């Protein structure tokens, strides 16, 4: 029976996909891209294999991405293969629920539990969407099953399997711990209380935890600082009241399981309390402990509580079977009632799966009833959001221009039409296209795509950018040339433009170069505040290229200046002997002459040839930029090392550190700690270097440049110096 259910679920998912499936969206595209990164580990040569392995992602752990690898190797990289990956986690969830229920309550409850968990709309939906929520629920449920199967940790082999499951679960999503910490603590105290084989039980429990820690430590050790600094704020209650935080996941239950299943679960839970006077401790600690912990987290989504469904459904199933069997004389009649109700649940599954969401029936059934749809229709949409077609058009344009690659700017941030979906499709198809959003637009832009109609996020800003692109394309000498329009499923259009600087006539190339220097000066002063001996020089390829908006280089030198991002903070780091050069620059000559604006469209290279920073100036910068929270007690630079001792005033503690800094083959600046103490507690260099590895190398954001170089770096006489091996 279980095998038939699993086969049915797999076939239904495949048929759903073949009938049109669902469109890519923001988050699924991010996870799909990470799965491609995992499958392509070893292809790059820019960093060691182990770094490629651990850096598939930084915030989302990589287990699901690596589970995808054997699927991709067997079936190829595709959205269909990704669907099969999610389907495998669905089958794991169903089998694990079956195993738990059978172990506690028997075969009938096990089959009913497996059936009901697979019929929940939220489970159906996320078994077809490449997200981490269903895999997380599957790994939690599998771990709970193995915990039970260990027979209170008397079985060493199962305890080892549990350890592997714990490690993989923690590598699925870091919230895994929230759902299992209470059951594990409960199991520990129960194990300690057992007199027979106590030492063996405790040993097996600790063995499980140890194996889980060993498996998950490598990834977390290099990403923990990023996770803690990036998402720690989500652990608070946020703006919701305490009561709203507590009841939130109960309120969204109808949305997760549908109104039909809500009635079944309520009836089953009441029957469970009636016919099972002593609720099973594993289900109780699992549900209540998990619910209490996730309720304290401010960032809430209905999908986050999928792991709460298995214990609830197992308990309700036990109650329904208990109700059916309670009066033997009514067994036949009650069985018929239960079968009829389950037939309605199965009918709902077919409606959810196969009625198109955009059809009349789909819209009618999806109408809200109180807080949730009557039936949450998720049938195949067959919607084509044209990412592949747009990228293919760009690729054809690249071939015509004899370029090796291009940058595509995606202005909209619609749920199905955004930078993330384009980036995934571009990577999947290996298009020679770098996909970017609106940051810094129109700088570093070869092509741009806009969307009419709904833009969803940052509507005003994106609307202004879209209108400016479209308006510019209608000017006599446009920067943006329309290439093609693409119809979209929401009755809007995507419009693809190529950035084409127009020549200016009757203007001397010398005048253009002079104006480039003057306006570049205005731009550069956002990041460089000259104090002494400042010069800026533009170099041309030839007069024709200059008039067309293309120059060879722009060299900036300053005897003394302050460096910083002065648009955000007025504090700068004082440096001397600054020398850097930008290469192969494309700009818009029309706006240069008509609007007195230097609009840099592309840049091939950046060489940082020289710069010196004195220890005293770095000390002042650290103290001033901390707003009085940090006092630098010592800062010295000698023999290639930076030695630092600071007193953090709020909160009150001291840090001392020593780090070696150097340029890595002229491509970036690297560092390695040789020692650190925090409040007199020594931290081994290996530990601090692992934790800070994501920040090495120091200079980031230059991946779009084909030529990025940094001169040789030395630390001596309390001064950091970068200098070039080449002459002037």
The pLDDT tens digits of the residues spanning 132-164 come to 999 999 999 999 999 999 988 999 999 999 999
Q: How far apart are CA 386 and CA 73, in angstroms?
A: 27
Q: Tokens 């603590």 belong to which residue?
A: 185
Strands (E), 461-527: 480-487, 493-499
Cβ burial, residue 402 (10 Å; 0-12/13-18/19+): exposed
Q: Can you give the pLDDT at residue 237? A: 45
Q: Is the pLDDT of residue 194 over 80?
A: no
Q: Is residue 697 reached through a cis peptide bond, with omega within 30 degrees of 0 on the bond before it?
A: yes
The pLDDT tens digits of the residues spanning 598-633 come to 888 888 889 999 999 999 999 999 999 888 889 999
Q: How confident is the model at residue 485 (pLDDT cuts 50, 70, 90)?
A: very high
Q: How far apart are CA 540 and CA 546, in angstroms?
A: 6
Q: Tokens 């549908």 belong to which residue?
A: 258
The pLDDT tens digits of the residues spanning 696-727 come to 888 887 777 888 999 999 999 999 999 987 65
Cβ contacts of 292 within 8 Å, gap of 6 or more? 182
Q: Return the CA Rg of the chain.
A: 31
Sign, CA torsion 364/251/16/37: positive
pTM of the model: 0.88
Q: Can you give the pLDDT at residue 234? A: 53
Q: Is the pLDDT of residue 254 over 80?
A: yes
HSE, CB side, 13 Å, CA atoms: give it for residue 426: 23
Q: How confident is the model at residue 637 (pLDDT cuts 50, 70, 90)?
A: very high
Residue 527 to residues 69, 409, 551, 562, 565, Cα–Cα distance (Å): 43, 24, 22, 8, 5
CB atoms within 10 A of CB 679: 10
In 3-state terms the chain splits into helix, strand, coil percentages (rounded to 5) of: 50, 20, 25
Arithmetic mean of pLDDT, 443-471: 84
The pLDDT tens digits of the residues spanning 347-379 come to 999 999 999 988 888 889 888 888 889 899 999
The separation between the first and the last C-alpha atoms of the chain, rounded to the nearest angstrom, is 79
Q: How far apart are CA 564 and CA 622, in angstroms?
A: 13
Sign, CA torsion 692/698/701/702: negative
Lowest mean pLDDT among 22-26, 232-236, 265-269, 566-570: 232-236
Arithmetic mean of pLDDT, 483-499: 94
Average model confidence (pLDDT) across the chain: 90
Q: How far apart are CA 337 and CA 342, in angstroms?
A: 9
589 and 503 in contact (C-beta within 8 Å)?
yes
Q: Can you give the pLDDT at residue 276? A: 72
3-state secondary structure of 568: coil
Phi, psi of 452 (to 5 degrees): -80, 160
189 and 289 in contact (C-beta within 8 Å)?
no
Specify the higher pLDDT residue, 235 or 177: 177
Q: Is the pLDDT of residue 346 over 70?
A: yes
59 and 223 in contact (C-beta within 8 Å)?
yes
Specify the higher pLDDT residue, 282 or 72: 72
267 and 112 in contact (C-beta within 8 Å)?
no
> In sequence order, what are the beta bridge partners of 561?
530, 575
Q: Copy the structure tokens of residue 394.
A: 């760009």
Q: How confident is the model at residue 96 (pLDDT cuts 50, 70, 90)?
A: very high
Phi, psi of 514 (to 5 degrees): -65, -40
The pLDDT tens digits of the residues spanning 111-123 come to 999 999 999 999 9
Q: How confident is the model at residue 457 (pLDDT cuts 50, 70, 90)?
A: low
Cβ contacts of 340 within 8 Å, gap of 6 or more? none
Q: How confident is the model at residue 277 (pLDDT cuts 50, 70, 90)?
A: low
DSSP 41-103: TTS--SS-HHHHHHTS-SSS-SHHHHHHHHHHHHH-SSHHHHHHHHHHHHHHHHHHHHHHHHH
608 and 698 in contact (C-beta within 8 Å)?
no
Phi, psi of 367 (to 5 degrees): -60, 140
Q: Is the pLDDT of residue 728 over 70?
A: no
Q: How far apart are CA 23 and CA 701, in angstroms?
A: 30
Rounded to the nearest 10°, the torsion over CA 104, 106, 108, 112 is: 20
Arithmetic mean of pLDDT, 302-328: 91
The pLDDT tens digits of the residues spanning 548-594 come to 999 999 999 999 999 988 877 888 999 999 999 999 999 999 889 98
Give, as one character, the DSSP assignment of residue 692. T
Percent of the chain with pLDDT over 70: 96
Phi, psi of 559 (to 5 degrees): -70, -35
């Amino acid at each position: 029976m279980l095998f038939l259910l699993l086969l049915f679920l797999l076939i239904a998912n495949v048929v759903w996909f073949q009938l049109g499936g669902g469109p890519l969206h923001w988050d699924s595209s991010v996870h799909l891209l990470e799965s491609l990164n995992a499958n392509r580990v070893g292809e790059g040569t820019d960093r060691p294999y182990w770094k490629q392995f651990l850096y598939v992602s930084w915030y989302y752990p990589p287990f699901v991405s690596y589970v995808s690898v054997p699927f991709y190797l067997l079936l190829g990289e595709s959205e269909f293969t990704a669907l099969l990956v999610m389907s495998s986690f669905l089958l794991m969830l169903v089998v694990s629920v079956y195993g738990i229920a059978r172990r506690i309550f028997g075969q009938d409850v096990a089959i009913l539990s497996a059936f009901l968990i697979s019929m929940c709309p939220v489970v159906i939906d996320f078994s077809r969407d490449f997200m981490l929520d269903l895999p997380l629920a599957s790994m939690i449920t599998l771990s709970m099953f193995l915990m039970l199967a260990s027979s209170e940790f008397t079985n060493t082999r199962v305890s080892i399997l549990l350890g592997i499951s714990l490690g993989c679960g923690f590598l699925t999503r870091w919230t895994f711990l929230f759902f299992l910490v209470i059951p594990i603590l409960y199991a520990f105290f129960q194990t300690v209380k057992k007199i027979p084989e106590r030492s063996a039980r405790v040993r097996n429990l600790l063995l499980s935890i140890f194996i889980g820690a060993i498996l998950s430590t490598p990834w977390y050790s290099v990403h923990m600082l990023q996770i803690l600094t990036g998402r720690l704020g989500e652990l608070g209650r946020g703006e919701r009241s305490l009561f709203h935080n507590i009841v939130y996941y109960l309120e969204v239950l109808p949305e997760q399981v549908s109104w039909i299943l809500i009635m079944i679960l309520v009836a089953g839970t009441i029957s469970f309390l009636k016919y099972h006077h002593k609720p099973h401790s594993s289900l109780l600690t699992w549900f209540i402990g998990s619910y209490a912990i996730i309720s304290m987290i401010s960032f809430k989504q209905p999908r986050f509580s999928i792991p709460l469904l298995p214990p609830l459904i197992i308990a309700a199933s036990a109650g329904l079977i208990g109700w059916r069997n309670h009066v033997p004389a009514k067994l036949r009649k009650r069985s018929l009632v239960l079968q009829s109700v389950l037939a309605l649940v199965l009918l709902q599954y077919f409606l959810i799966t196969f009625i198109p969401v955009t059809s009349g029936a789909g819209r009618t059934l999806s109408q809200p009833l109180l807080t949730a749809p009557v039936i949450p229709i998720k049938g195949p949409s067959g919607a084509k959001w044209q990412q592949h077609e747009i990228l293919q058009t760009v690729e054809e344009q690249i071939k015509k221009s004899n370029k090796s690659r291009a940058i595509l700017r995606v202005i909209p941030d619609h749920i199905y039409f955004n930078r993330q979906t384009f980036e995934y499709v571009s990577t999947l198809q290996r298009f020679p296209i770098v996909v970017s959003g609106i940051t810094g637009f129109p700088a570093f832009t070869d092509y741009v795509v806009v969307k009419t109609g709904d833009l969803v996020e940052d509507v005003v800003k994106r609307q202004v950018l879209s209108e400016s692109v479209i308006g510019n394309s209608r000017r006599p000498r446009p920067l943006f040339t329309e290439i093609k329009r693409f119809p979209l499923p929401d009755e809007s259009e995507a419009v693809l433009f190529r950035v084409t600087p127009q020549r200016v006539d009757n203007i001397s190339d010398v005048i253009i170069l002079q104006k480039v220097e003057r306006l570049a000066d205005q731009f550069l002063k956002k990041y460089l505040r000259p104090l002494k001996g400042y010069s800026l020089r533009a170099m041309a390829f030839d007069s024709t290229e200059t008039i067309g908006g293309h120059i060879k280089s722009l060299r900036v030198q300053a005897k003394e200046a302050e460096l910083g991002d002065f648009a955000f903070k007025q504090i700068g780091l004082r440096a001397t002997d600054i020398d850097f050069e930008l290469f192969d620059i494309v700009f818009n000559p029309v706006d240069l002459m008509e609007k007195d604006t230097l609009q840099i469209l592309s840049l091939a290279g950046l060489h940082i040839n020289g710069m010196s920073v004195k220890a005293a100036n770095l000390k002042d910068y650290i103290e001033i930029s901390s707003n009085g929270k940090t006092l630098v007690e010592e800062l010295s630079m000698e023999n290639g090392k930076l030695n630092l001792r600071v007193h953090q005033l709020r909160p009150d503690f001291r840090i001392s550190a020593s780090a070696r800094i150097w340029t890595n083959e002229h491509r970036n600046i690297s560092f390695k700690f040789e020692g650190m103490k925090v409040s007199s507690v020594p931290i081994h260099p290996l530990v601090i270097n692992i934790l800070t590895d994501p920040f090495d190398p120091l200079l980031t954001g230059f991946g779009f440049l084909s030529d990025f170089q940094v001169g040789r770096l030395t630390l001596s006489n309390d001064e950091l110096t970068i200098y070039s091996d080449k002459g002037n």
